[in-house]
Amino acid sequence: MIIVHVSGHLKDYTGRKKQFEVQGSSINNVLDLVECLNQLFPGIKERILDDQDHTREYVNIFVNGEDTRFSEGENTKLKEGDQVHILPSVAGG
């Protein structure tokens, strides 16, 4: 099982849930996880990834506290017990 945390407008797609568990032997990396999330919560993928399946500029994804932008991005490996935080940036004034 992988524990996923979401915040901001992404909760609109998860029924306002901000933490949930995802199970699946086919989840090998962040991209697989987002595909799984989209199966559970239709429309969430487009808010996280662009048309080329890259993390959108204003979304930050952390695996066990490590920013995926500084590792393998969407190809960052996942394993049982990992904690993933998906955080959209907040702008405004």
The domains of the chain, with CATH numbers, are 2-88 (3.10.20.30)
Paired sense of beta strands 59-63 and 83-88, if any: antiparallel
- Stretches where the chain sits below pLDDT 50 are none
Per-residue confidence (pLDDT) for residue 89, from 0 to 100: 86
Average pLDDT taken over every residue of the chain: 94
Backbone dihedral region for residue 9 (phi beyond 0: left; psi -120 to 50: alpha; all else: beta): alpha
Q: Give the pLDDT score at 2.
A: 97
What is the pTM for the complete model shown?
A: 0.92
For the record, the structure tokens of 35 come out as 């595909």
